[in-house]
């Protein structure tokens, strides 16, 4: 995703401290950013992220909500978002140097604010790359799960039709060839049939 410098970036600022929030908002150019400021945590925060769909989230490095936001890219079904952290502590520069890739970026409290735009843009770009990698991983997982479905269908055939494992597999394969379907599709049909039979019995 290439964000042109002229395009407005939707920024969600999560900060309890109004003063801190104001100084950060003040430093960002209003013509380039559409900034929403919220102070919620926990579930309400997740709902806001879902509703507002920001391009990037900006959060205090010491906020407990960081784990919540970061996890969106690891386990949650919700749309993951790039996160940029800010801090007033001097050690942030050190952290920033060590966090060169990944989904997060750091900005120190006393930074030159001309750099903010580039930091935000970089964070968004890096994040897109990361997402691409994630998608590939999901693809691999799907492959594995399709093997599992075939396995389950085989077991059902073995148990209900009294077949050996080899016979069960051949039956699924024959059905797939006859109907020009994938093994996985046939296995899924078998399993849903099995479910229906179970219900009616």
Partner 1 sequence: MIKESQPRYLVEKSDINIGFMPLADCAPLAVALEQGYFKEQGLNVTLKKQYSWATMRDKLHAGVLDAAQLLAPMPLASSLGINGEKHQVIAPMVLSQNGNAITLSMALYEEVKAFNKLTTLDIPLSAGLLKPIIKARKSVGQKLTFATVYPHSCHYYQLCSWFEHNNIAIDDVEILIITPVNMVEALRSEDIDGFCVGGPWNAKAVRDGVGVTCVTSCDIWPNIPEKVLGMLADWQKSYPETTKALIYALRKACNWLSNVANRFEAARLLSQHQYLDLHLSVIAPSLIGSCLVHHQQSPRHVPSYNQFSSEGAECINRPDHFKGEWLLSHMCKVGQVSSDKLSKNIVAEVFRQDIYQQTFAPKFLVSDIDETTTDIAEQA
Q: How far is the CB of 167 from partner 1 (least distance, A)?
A: 27
Task: Check residue 51 for interaction with partner 1 (CB under 8 A).
Answer: no
Subset of residues 137 to 176 that bind partner 1, contact rule: CB under 8 A: 137, 140-141
Least distance in angstroms from the C-beta of 92 to partner 1: 9
- Give the helix/strand (H/E) hosting 106: strand 104-108
Q: Pattern 76-105, binding to partner 1, x per CB under 8 A?
A: xx-------x-----x--xx-xxxxxxxx-
81 close to 69: Cβ distance less than 8 angstroms: yes
Q: Do residues 103 and 80 make contact, with C-beta atoms less than 8 angstroms apart?
A: yes
Q: In the complex, what is the shortest distance from the CB of residue 29 to partner 1, in angstroms, rounded to a whole number?
A: 28
- Residues 63, 122, 152, 189: which binds partner 1 (CB under 8 A)? 63
Q: What is the 3-state secondary structure (H, E, C) of 109-137?
A: CCCCCHHHHHHHHHHHHHHHHHHHHHHHH
Instruction: Give me the least distance between CB of 105 and partner 1, in Å please.
Output: 11
For partner 1, which is the closer residue by CB, 63 or 122? Answer: 63
> Strands of 33-38's sheet, edge to edge?
33-38, 9-14, 56-60, 83-87, 104-108
Crossing angle (nearest 10°) for helices 165-178 and 183-200: 110
Residues that bind partner 1 (CB under 8 A): 41-44, 46, 61-68, 70-72, 74-77, 85, 91, 94-95, 97-104, 106, 137, 140-141
């Amino acid at each position: 995703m290439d964000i042109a410098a002229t395009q407005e970036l939707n920024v969600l600022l999560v900060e309890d401290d109004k003063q801190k929030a104001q100084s950060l908002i003040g430093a960002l150019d209003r013509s380039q950013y559409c900034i929403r400021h919220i102070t919620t945590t926990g579930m309400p925060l997740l709902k806001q992220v879902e509703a507002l769909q920001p391009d990037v989230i900006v959060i205090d490095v010491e906020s407990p909500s960081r784990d919540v936001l970061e996890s969106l890219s690891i386990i949650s079904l919700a749309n993951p978002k790039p996160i940029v952290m800010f801090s007033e502590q001097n050690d942030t520069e050190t952290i920033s140097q060590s966090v060169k890739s990944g989904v997060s970026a750091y900005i120190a409290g006393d930074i030159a604010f001309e750099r903010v735009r580039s930091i935000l843009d970089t964070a968004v770009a890096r994040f897109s790359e990361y997402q691409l990698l994630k998608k590939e991983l999901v693809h691999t997982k799907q492959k594995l799960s399709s093997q599992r479905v075939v396995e389950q269908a085989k077991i059902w055939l073995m148990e209900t039709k009294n077949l050996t494992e080899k016979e069960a597999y051949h039956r699924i394969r024959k059905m797939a060839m006859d109907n020009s379907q994938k093994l996985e599709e046939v296995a899924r049909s078998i399993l849903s049939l099995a479910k229906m039979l179970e219900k009616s019995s």
